[in-house]
Amino acid sequence: MDGLGFAVGMAVKIFGRGDTQAYALAGSITSLLGCVAGNIFSTVGFIAKAQGINIFQTLYLVDPMYLIQSLIQYWVIISIK
């Protein structure tokens, strides 16, 4: 994911004609938020498939703290590798 943030940051800086680090930072933050949202929605999708319900029902029923804990566990596992 580090490479993705760097790539998006550089794309925003180059194609946005940004001459400052602010454009690269904005692109990196946007990329990071997109990755976090993707991880959340994939977790919700796995739960929905396992329970046999649709994603919208799962979003309504799942505990937000569970999603946060699963993201933290994911980051811990990735950092150990």
- The 3-state secondary structure of 51-80 reads HCCCHHHHHHHCCHHHHHHHHHHHHHHHHH
Q: What percent of the chain has pLDDT over 70?
A: 75
- The rounded distance, in Å, linking the Cα atoms of 31 and 37 is 10
Q: State the number of CA atoms in the 13 A half-sphere of 71 facing the CB.
A: 16
Whole-prediction pTM? 0.66
Q: Is the pLDDT of residue 2 over 60?
A: no
> Any idea where the domains of the chain sit in the sequence?
2-80
- The rounded distance, in Å, linking the Cα atoms of 13 and 20 is 8
The mean pLDDT value of the chain amounts to 79
